[in-house]
Amino acid sequence: MRGDADEGSVREVFAAEAADNLATLKDEAATLEEKRAAAANLREGAALVGEHAIAHAAADLVERGASAGGVAALEARVYERLIRPTDVEVEGDLESEEAGSLRRLFRDEADETLERIATTLAELGDRAPGAAVLRELMRMTHTLKGSAATVQLGAIGEASHALEDAFDALRGRGDAWSQRLCDQLVELVDALRAAVSVGDRATQNAQIDAFYGLLSRLELPRGQGSHATERGADGGASAPPALSLKQRDAAVLRVDAKRIDSLMDSVGELAFDRTRITRRATEISQLATDIDRARRRLPAPARRLEGAEPDEAAREAAEILADLESELDRQLAALRQASGALLEDADALRRTGKALQDGLTRVRMLTVSSLFRQLAPQLRAMARAAGKRIRLVTSGGDTEFDKAVATHVIDALLQLLRNAVAHGIEPPETRRARGKPTEGRVTIAARQEGSTIVLDVSDDGAGIDVPALRRRFIERGAWTEARAELASDNEVIQALFEPGTSQRERADSLAGRGVGLSAVRESVARLGGEVQTRSIPEQGTRFRVRLPVTAAVSQALLFKVGGDVFALPQSYVVETAHVDATSLPRHLNTRSRTVPLVGLHQVLEAELPADARSLPAVVLAFAGKQLAITCDKIVGPREIVIKQLGPILSTLPLYAGGTISGSGKVQLIFDPAELVRIAFPEGAGPPGAGRDLRPR
């Protein structure tokens, strides 16, 4: 709408008027009445062009009189929204990386604070907050305002201020409190959280507009609390206590998670390197055995000479052979010792790498409560959208787990919550009829069991209607009647996790379009976890998600060869190309050079796709060498969780590890070092190449 020509000119007019009005407000000669009129004018103009933030700041001045601080805030708003292009960051010196991370810290902290505010409000329900609770709410918003100012996020600061005012207006006005007001306030806080969480200006402004939109609909008691007077007393230049960012105990470090992730990636590569070294050392000791076997054949001619009448030349030859023999023995012993030492070193490397990995994992451990914080506002939004009253109960917030796991499970948990809201919790009327409290209850409980995190997402809703599911599977043609009849209840529930099943009759925005639970199972399976379901009719449903406490996540390129999917660490992939499938050349010309082409079908003993004219090829670089490998089809880049192959399979040089696909299949990860060896056989030789190492 703002793009309209008319709309544009209206904004221009408003901008010009705003400048005049601001001048009046700053003019010391202007009367109070003139200032009030200017502010009112600004408020109306701003409301007309949909600038809720400006309208709110102006309204503040109309009601409370033009304090210097208030005018400055209003001016900043106008300046930011109308005069400057919105995509330019206002902050000059905050562009540095340091400032960026300071802002991320602010976001974390603001997120925590706002969730505390939202939870406090949500717990009130229809009971009006006492003076102490309001004071605490105001304290929290006030701190937030200060923090926002520190990191120069003025708009967030002002919105916090507006929120603080809203709480202030409620002091001593318990009569104005209602469940509805409580819900509106929670929604308002969630809107501010949404604004805090986004990084780019334009989106943030849109979120802040949404915030003021909600604020303008808030039914607050008229009149002022004492807060405004307090602010008037210090001339409006109130300096809120800025904040814990600086006061925080120096012994506790807040580090950007990305830095730790990249360290973690390096540690992961270290594990690959170590496996390679072990393999080489084993090869060397095998080589020693081979040489030893050859040596045993060596002294035979020398011994034959002993019995006969040896001539000078033969004796000399025998002596040389004997010398050579003992020399070879010494060298063999040295070689064995060296390979043994190498194996020990590799083992030491493994231990150090493990310690490093464990340490880093501990560093990036999150408490489950941080997960709860992200889930809570989403659940509230879902409940609002569905018109249901739902209370979230959490427990086990202290449980710790790897951030990598947390990031990858959050969508799955959201889906389970969506499920609870859409299918679990009944509409209030139904609940009343069933003798349940009208407010539904969703519980997320976390606990650790050994190296597993158990997350229970349960609701006290209707439970899963198994007979209805049986009927629906038949109607859809997914199951035969016999199968539906024979399947146990548990099997029917399990079928919900298959792709293409949706419990709802009609797809709606809340509970997916038949992708919901299958996506849950998929993302949990990728992490190496599982989901169990228990449901009791009319009592509720419990989804139990078991996850490993830690996970090694990495970027990889996935591709298909002979029906199976394989992976290659993305960091080694240079580009992808196509080759002629009918002739399969031995080399591939890339943009910059000619590289050897390895036919993976041959290496893996797989059939070439029947009628393919051209095959995709992946160009990779490792240890300064480039090569290309053919495949059937490139699946694409994916984030994968790397798993060890275990003692039996890890002896295979071709693989660096494995991963589990979304459908629970094992996929193997190639070791680029071995691919290089196949492409450049003259380089580092395989065990059988010992011939070349004859002492000279």
Partner 1 sequence: MARERATDGEKKPMRNVIVFAIGRNLYALELRWVHEVVSLPYVTRVPTAPAGVLGAVNVRGAIVPVIDVEVLGGAPAPGRPARPGDGAILLEVDDAPCAFRIDNVEEVTTLHGERRGRLTDGRGRDIAIVDPEEVVRRVAAEPPGRGGPRAG
- H-type alpha helices, 397-436: 403-419, 428-433
Among 157, 461, 529, 672, binds partner 1 (CB under 8 A): 529
Residue 374: strand, helix, or coil: helix
User: Candidates 294-302, 323-331, 611-619, 685-693 — which segment interacts with partner 1 by CB under 8 A?
Assistant: 685-693
Of 238 and 661, which has the nearer Cβ to partner 1? 661
Of 153 and 525, which has the nearer Cβ to partner 1? 525
Main-chain dihedrals φ then ψ at residue 219, nearest 5 degrees: -95, 80
By the rule CB under 8 A, 658 interacts with partner 1: yes
Of 42 and 288, which has the nearer Cβ to partner 1? 288
Among 31, 432, 644, 693, binds partner 1 (CB under 8 A): 644
Report whether 71 contacts 235 (CB < 8 A).
no
Q: Taking the CB of residue 556, how many other CB atoms lie within 10 A of it?
A: 25
**Which H or E run includes 449?**
strand 440-449
Least distance between partner 1 and beta carbon 521 (Å): 13
By the rule CB under 8 A, 689 interacts with partner 1: yes
Least distance between partner 1 and beta carbon 573 (Å): 20
User: CA–CA separation, 349 vs 344, rounded Å?
Assistant: 9
Least distance between partner 1 and beta carbon 684 (Å): 10
By the rule CB under 8 A, 490 interacts with partner 1: no
Q: Which tokens is 222 given?
A: 């008229």
Of 624 and 646, which has the nearer Cβ to partner 1? 646
By the rule CB under 8 A, 19 interacts with partner 1: no
By the rule CB under 8 A, 668 interacts with partner 1: yes
Q: What angle in degrees, to the nearest 10, is found between the helix axes of 52-64 and 32-48?
A: 160
User: CA–CA separation, 413 vs 490, rounded Å?
Assistant: 21
Least distance between partner 1 and beta carbon 73 (Å): 54
Say which amino acid occupies 99: A
User: Candidates 183-191, 465-473, 500-508, 672-680 — which segment interacts with partner 1 by CB under 8 A?
Assistant: 672-680
Burial code (b: 16+ CB inside 10 Å, e: under 16) for 191-220 equals bbbbbbbeeebeebbebbbbbbebbeeeeb
Report whether 489 contacts 481 (CB < 8 A).
no
Report whether 442 contacts 393 (CB < 8 A).
yes
Of 240 and 599, which has the nearer Cβ to partner 1? 599
Among 213, 397, 662, 685, binds partner 1 (CB under 8 A): 685
The sign one gets for the Cα dihedral 194, 195, 196, 201 is positive
Of 260 and 603, which has the nearer Cβ to partner 1? 603
Least distance between partner 1 and beta carbon 273 (Å): 20
Those residues with Cβ within 8 angstroms of residue 312's Cβ, 6 or more apart along the chain or in another chain = none
By the rule CB under 8 A, 603 interacts with partner 1: yes
By the rule CB under 8 A, 391 interacts with partner 1: no
CA 179 to chain centre: 35
Among 475, 605, 611, 692, binds partner 1 (CB under 8 A): 605
Of 156 and 547, which has the nearer Cβ to partner 1? 547
Least distance between partner 1 and beta carbon 191 (Å): 39
Least distance between partner 1 and beta carbon 647 (Å): 4
Residue 641: strand, helix, or coil: strand
Say which amino acid occupies 474: I
User: CA–CA separation, 654 vs 36, rounded Å?
Assistant: 78
| Size of interface with partner 1, in residues (CB under 8 A) | 40
User: Candidates 10-18, 345-353, 583-591, 660-668 — which segment interacts with partner 1 by CB under 8 A?
Assistant: 660-668
By the rule CB under 8 A, 250 interacts with partner 1: no
Q: Nearest Cα to 689, choosing from 197, 244, 280?
A: 280
Total residue length of the chain:
696
By the rule CB under 8 A, 635 interacts with partner 1: no
Q: Which of residues 534-553 bind partner 1 (CB under 8 A)?
A: 548
By the rule CB under 8 A, 609 interacts with partner 1: no
By the rule CB under 8 A, 219 interacts with partner 1: no
User: Candidates 75-83, 232-240, 274-282, 645-653 — which segment interacts with partner 1 by CB under 8 A?
Assistant: 645-653
Among 527, 531, 558, 628, binds partner 1 (CB under 8 A): 527
Report whether 185 contacts 114 (CB < 8 A).
no
By the rule CB under 8 A, 606 interacts with partner 1: yes
Of 123 and 491, which has the nearer Cβ to partner 1? 491
User: CA–CA separation, 117 vs 122, rounded Å?
Assistant: 9
By the rule CB under 8 A, 293 interacts with partner 1: no
Q: Nearest Cα to 112, choosing from 226, 223, 244?
A: 244
The residues pairing with 275 across neighbouring beta strands, listed in sequence order, are: none
At which residue do the structure tokens 């334009």 appear?
A: 202
By the rule CB under 8 A, 311 interacts with partner 1: no
User: Candidates 464-472, 572-580, 589-597, 649-657 — which segment interacts with partner 1 by CB under 8 A?
Assistant: 649-657
Least distance between partner 1 and beta carbon 426 (Å): 35
By the rule CB under 8 A, 483 interacts with partner 1: no
Q: Which of residues 132-171 bind partner 1 (CB under 8 A)?
A: none
By the rule CB under 8 A, 486 interacts with partner 1: no
Report whether 629 contacts 598 (CB < 8 A).
yes
By the rule CB under 8 A, 645 interacts with partner 1: yes
By the rule CB under 8 A, 631 interacts with partner 1: no
By the rule CB under 8 A, 309 interacts with partner 1: no
Query: CA 147, 149, 154 angle in degrees (round to 5)?
Result: 125
By the rule CB under 8 A, 646 interacts with partner 1: yes
Say which amino acid occupies 559: F
Q: What is the DSSP string of 453-482?
A: EEEEEEESS----HHHHHHHHHHTTSS-HH
User: CA–CA separation, 537 vs 112, rounded Å?
Assistant: 37
Least distance between partner 1 and beta carbon 561 (Å): 9
User: Candidates 191-199, 478-486, 589-597, 666-674 — which segment interacts with partner 1 by CB under 8 A?
Assistant: 666-674
Report whether 404 contacts 456 (CB < 8 A).
no
Q: Which of residues 554-593 bind partner 1 (CB under 8 A)?
A: 562, 564
Of 225 and 548, which has the nearer Cβ to partner 1? 548
SS3 content of the chain, % helix, strand, coil (to 5): 55, 15, 25
Least distance between partner 1 and beta carbon 354 (Å): 15
By the rule CB under 8 A, 172 interacts with partner 1: no
By the rule CB under 8 A, 686 interacts with partner 1: yes
Residue 155: strand, helix, or coil: helix
CA 210 to chain centre: 26
Main-chain dihedrals φ then ψ at residue 660, nearest 5 degrees: -110, 130
* Contact set with partner 1 (CB under 8 A): 525, 527-530, 548, 562, 564, 603-606, 643-649, 651-655, 658, 660, 663-668, 674, 677-678, 681, 685-686, 688-689
